Amino acid sequence: NAGVTQTPKFRVLKTGQSMTLLCAQDMNHEYMYWYRQDPGMGLRLIHYSVGEGTTAKGEVPDGYNVSRLKKQNFLLGLESAAPSQTSVYFCASRHQQGLAGGQETQYFGPGTRLLVL
Partner 1 sequence: RKEVEQDPGPFNVPEGATVAFNCTYSNSASQSFFWYRQDCRKEPKLLMSVYSSGNEDGRFTAQLNRASQYISLLIRDSKLSDSATYLCVVTSSTSGTYKYIFGTGTRLKVLA
Q: Which residues bind partner 1 (CB under 8 A)?
A: 33, 35, 40-43, 45, 50, 56, 90, 98, 102-103, 105-111
Parallel/antiparallel/unpaired status of strands 56-57 and 44-49: antiparallel
CB of 22 to partner 1, least distance (A): 16
* Closest CB to partner 1 among residues 83, 110: 110
Q: Smaller CB distance to partner 1: residue 5 or 17?
A: 5
Q: Which is nearer to partner 1, 77 or 111 (CB)?
A: 111
The whole-angstrom distance between residue 71's C-alpha and the CA centroid of its chain comes to 14
Distance CA(50)–CA(110), nearest Å, equals: 21
Q: CA–CA separation, 71 vs 23, rounded Å?
A: 11
Question: Which C-beta is closer to partner 1: that of 17 or that of 60?
Answer: 60
User: Rounded to the nearest whole angstrom, what is the least distance from the CB of residue 80 to partner 1 in the complex?
Assistant: 27
Measured CA to CA in angstroms, residue 74 lies from 99, 100, 102, 103, 106 at distances of 25, 27, 24, 21, 15
Q: What is the CA radius of gyration of the chain?
A: 14
Closest distance of CB 12 from partner 1, Å: 17
The least CB distance from residue 26 to partner 1, in Å, is 16
